[in-house]
Structure 1
Amino acid sequence: MAEAVWRGTELEHRTTAARPTGWAALDAELPGGGWPEQSVVEILAAQPAVLEWRLLSPALKTVVQNGGQVVVVGPPRQPHLPGLQYMGLSERQFVWVQADQPAERLWTTEQLIKSKAAGAVVAWLPKARAEQLRRLQVCAQGCESLVFLCRPEAARHESSAAPLRVHASAGLDWTLDVHILKRRGPAHERTLALPSIPGGLASVLTLRARRLTRPAAEVSHAVGSPVDTVRPRHAAA
């Protein structure tokens, strides 16, 4: 009987269906050992549409390899086809929804979650309110797709219904520093330094260039020209 009781000082593994993030060190700190299904995940960063790609690309690649479709909603920078291909994403399994208004983004994200049509949904929602995030979390509980909500760094001080919140920043020597702000389990006090050279730079950087001894520039390898654009219907706020 005691084994069926989850304690807040322990990671919740038994009831959390998850998929590997592609980062072993991160998986070890997440309930279920990866990005959770039937849940929204908040990714916070100082600059939008830069580090999110580096953090999420291994999981998105797996979605595509399994025949799923990746849908991104309202990225502030245009997705770049060569960068996406390097990440392992095929343009035939990638849909970019250009939704400029906050109400459009929220409506589109909610419909994608409800329809269960995508293997992964990545939405940029810089102005989402707590009650709106709660509604998306409720919708996600009936969806097995991966759902990522990309939000500004300042949102870390706001309340959120997302069971998992992580903050990403550029670290030393091309690392991707990840701090788990919220998870189903004990507080995570330390920062994970994930080795992450963006794009195809790994094959051209010298050993000296890989050791910058200062934060690497937040370079995105998945921005540029549009891949595929689908405009949603307008929705009321």
Structure 2
Amino acid sequence: MNAPSLQQAALATPPPLPSSRPSADRLAAALPASVWRASELGTAPAPVRASGWAELDAELPGGGWPCQALTEILLPCTASCEWRLTGPALRTVAANHGPIVLIGPPVPPHVPGLMHAGVGARDLVWIQAEKVAERLWAAEQLIRANAAAAVLAWVPQARSEQIRRLQISALRCEGLVFVFRPDSVCQQASAAPLRLRVAPRAGWALEVQILKRRGALHEDAILLPSVPGGLAEVLPPRLLQPGLPLPVPAVEVSHVVGRAAVRSVSVVH
């Protein structure tokens, strides 16, 4: 057997691999910008919608309610402050992006009140589902289909694995997804990347605590001045701020008899 020629040996030798140094340099240059430090407020990986509260947006990653993610809101009791908190964002969403779907609200939507908040009856789709399993199924189907501009689901008895399933479905949803649960579950683990506790306070205020976000722990509560829709135009100033002392009425004095004029009222049983 003849030994291979020098030319044949050269053809059999594989060409040298191209240097990966340029790619490594580009990766090293981009790495610092993509690393998120837990001590800093993170940026949202997807689009956000302004919440309508400047104080709240300043503490939310990206500056608003996240799309392609689940927002979990814990409440001391249902039907207490859900609409006042989410209403400003829902008004914008309904005007520009599509229907708002309600799944299992504890009370029927009060359309006149929602109209004051800028959300009309034609913007709402109400799914009346009694069982939690039915509510979770409906929410998951809507989120996966990307069929609504916002999905609001009341799921008080949902388990941690069910919340995780909704979060996985929400990763491909372009709308807002809110789930409302009792604040008694605040110690339970949750897959929702944004988790808030909300409670009504004196003076028509909402107290918001950020329990979980992509960023440093936020320990201080945020107070949002929130008068229900339509009441701001009819309530007197002292009722808009219930914490203020009530004015003392002046005593009317009759100069004829020199004593306070008191109107007598008789009660007939």
- TM score, norm. by length of structure 2: 0.77
Which of 109, 112, 126 in structure 1 is aligned with 2:142? Answer: 112
SS at match of 1:99: coil
Q: State which drifts further: 81-90 or 185-194.
A: 81-90
Using the TM superposition, give the Cα deviation of residue 149 of structure 1 relative to its aligned residue in structure 2, in angstroms: 0.2
Residue equivalent to 2:154: 124
Contact 1:73 1:109 in 2 (8 A): yes
Residue equivalent to 1:19: 49
Contact 1:176 1:195 in 2 (8 A): yes
Residue equivalent to 1:135: 165
Using the TM superposition, give the Cα deviation of residue 172 of structure 1 relative to its aligned residue in structure 2, in angstroms: 2.5
Using the TM superposition, give the Cα deviation of residue 173 of structure 1 relative to its aligned residue in structure 2, in angstroms: 1.2
Q: State which drifts further: 14-23 or 137-146.
A: 14-23
Please give the alpha-carbon distance, in whole angstroms, between the structure 2 residues aligned to 1:211 and 1:33.
Answer: 28
Structure 1 runs of 4+ with >3 Å offset: none
Which of 190, 199, 203 in structure 1 is aligned with 2:229? Answer: 199
Using the TM superposition, give the Cα deviation of residue 49 of structure 1 relative to its aligned residue in structure 2, in angstroms: 2.2
**Higher RCO, Cα 8 Å, sep 6+:** 1
Using the TM superposition, give the Cα deviation of residue 67 of structure 1 relative to its aligned residue in structure 2, in angstroms: 4.1
Please give the alpha-carbon distance, in whole angstroms, between the structure 1 residues aligned to 2:96 and 2:127.
Answer: 22
Using the TM superposition, give the Cα deviation of residue 16 of structure 1 relative to its aligned residue in structure 2, in angstroms: 4.0
SS at match of 1:157: coil
Which of 142, 162, 166 in structure 1 is aligned with 2:192? Answer: 162
Query: Is the aligned partner of 1:144 residue 2:174?
Result: yes
Amino acid at match of 2:122: R
Unaligned runs of 5+ in 2: 1-30, 245-269
Amino acid at match of 2:32: A
